[in-house]
Amino acid sequence: MYPDTVLLDLPEATPTARTASGPLPAELHTDSATEKFVAFRIAERLFAVKATSVSEVILPQPITAIPHIPDFILGIIELSGNLYPVIDLPEFIFGEGCGASSSTKMIVLCPESDAASIVFPVEKIAEIMWFDAVSNSQNRETSPLAPQLAEYNGEAVHILDSAGLTAEISARLSD
């Protein structure tokens, strides 16, 4: 365990998956096991990503700026001898940057695919959530990178597609 690693010892919630407008239609409920998600806040929005995609949650690290890079990349950090790009998720997903100034934690995302790992600052780690199913939403607040919405305590939860997110970052960087 690294000295800057924060253990995910958070309260677990078991919300019912819902669309932004109400309960999920019966056909979206499956008999498969529920999935565990790490929920966090960025730019006053609640996001979640599959817990299996989160390598670790760390305390904020100094970010080294890199010239001539897209606005959605805040820079890089060194962690355990490896360099990781630090992504401004609201800028990348919604075009509304927030920077890392108010972050209290950073999430190291290692998708299940062979895509490269990324780091992104978050304002707050909310909790561990379990969802039976989530729906693809037509809500204008969603994005192809966060195509699913769930609802928890009356608040929309943007479910990130970690593999799609890292693939899209790689694609935009190679342009």
pLDDT tens profile 1-44: 444 444 344 444 434 443 333 343 333 333 355 889 999 998 88
φ, ψ dihedrals at 167, nearest 5°: -65, -40
CA-wise closest residue to 125 among 145, 107, 101, 100: 107
- pTM score over 0.75: no
pLDDT tens profile 115-171: 788 999 999 998 898 876 555 444 445 456 666 888 888 888 888 888 888 888 888
pLDDT tens profile 83-125: 999 999 888 887 877 666 667 899 999 877 667 889 999 999 9
pLDDT for 173 equals 82
Strand runs (DSSP E) across 3-154, as ranges?
5-6, 12-13, 18-19, 22-23, 35-42, 45-50, 54-58, 73-79, 82-87, 105-109, 118-122, 124-131, 135-136, 148-152
Domain ranges of the chain: 5-18+34-174
- Assign domain 5-18+34-174 to its CATH architecture: Beta Barrel (2.40)
